[in-house]
Structure 1
């Protein structure tokens, strides 16, 4: 399975070859979007009902509750992660970040309340993604893994092989767990 590149138009200056290929998207993103909408809607409805029942609902409180529900939605809204050979893109509510995955400089694992994988390329572009997106989408992980190996071969990826190895082990563990679960082993 070879990688195809489109070349820049003759005479175009300052452009480089762009990777071609279909985008692979997070298959669970739509369900997470529906969950975020559902939770925010439920919260807004509950707040309106409680305030209306107590007789204290007015325009100011309605706007306050609407703002609170929107804030909950914004916090719960997952980034839309897409991968294709040579690129990873993560689109949030207000921003979109894209990195060249075939020319990565560093990959960091940030632990905490919400784990993050931080990817940075040779152009200085940086993207943060939730590693579970790659765990749940083997096709996305396959593309990123192949491109990170290209970065290692080219010598651009100097920091981050440990984070990638850790992620690969996590994905292997999750895959094995899923196989055992499906086959009836516990």
Structure 2
């Protein structure tokens, strides 16, 4: 039995027309490198401290390696990608996909970290950090274009105001970036 998170965008419904290019989070590889650096630095620091103390043996080295791997798993970033009519969030073991042209709900979640939860008509659910959309205008353009299509079709029942607030924020960030680039801060 297939899990609801594994809804493929082209298996049900007709895909939207438009360019078929897939866009990705541009900062993902940098975030992966930073996660590996942090885990490597922790491992190196623990091994050096244990070696200087004279208590390093293979059990303790394996324990420090396990601790560094756990830190890497915690810090490993989510890879967000989008194509015509879909958006996917990929973790180490699971990919979640949502049909953005058939959205039924968009809900911001406030807490320790801000999240944006997208739900489609087929039960797909993706949770992502809105900062990924702010940092990647191509991803935002894909989502916004398909969310407008969902809104026009009447399937988007909840979250129109959240999308409009996010669009306003992105427009403001873009304008500030243009002003900074032109020296008109």
Same-fold call, TM cutoff 0.5: yes
Partner residue of 1:158?
Answer: 157
Q: Equivalent residues in 2 for 1:36-55 (5 A)?
A: 36-55=35-54
Q: Equivalent residues in 2 for 1:1-186 (5 A)?
A: 15-19=12-16, 21-186=20-185
Structure 1 residue 17: deviation in Å?
2.6
Partner residue of 2:4?
Answer: none
Once residues 18 and 153 of structure 1 are traced to their aligned partners in structure 2, the CA distance between those partners, rounded to angstroms, is 16
Q: Give yes or no for contact 2:16–2:101 (8 Å, CA) kept in 1.
A: no
Q: 3-state SS of the aligned residue for 1:114? A: coil
**Normalised TM-score (structure 1):** 0.88
Once residues 31 and 76 of structure 1 are traced to their aligned partners in structure 2, the CA distance between those partners, rounded to angstroms, is 12
Structure 1 unaligned blocks of 5 or more: 1-7, 9-13
Structure 1 residue 15: deviation in Å?
4.9
Once residues 152 and 15 of structure 1 are traced to their aligned partners in structure 2, the CA distance between those partners, rounded to angstroms, is 19
CA RMSD of aligned residues (A): 1.6
Structure 1 consecutive aligned stretches of length 4 or more whose deviation exceeds 3 Å: none
Size of the alignment, in residue pairs?
A: 174
Once residues 115 and 15 of structure 1 are traced to their aligned partners in structure 2, the CA distance between those partners, rounded to angstroms, is 31
Q: Give yes or no for contact 1:88–1:100 (8 Å, CA) kept in 2.
A: yes
Structure 2 unaligned blocks of 5 or more: 1-9
Tell me the alpha carbon deviations over residues 127-180 of structure 1, each in whole angstroms, 9 at most, x when there is no partner: 111111111111111111010011111111111112111211221121122112
Q: 3-state SS of the aligned residue for 2:56? A: coil
Kindly tell me: are residues 33 and 112 of structure 1, through their superposed partners in 2, closer, same or farther at Cα, counting changes over 3 Å?
same
**Normalised TM-score (structure 2):** 0.88
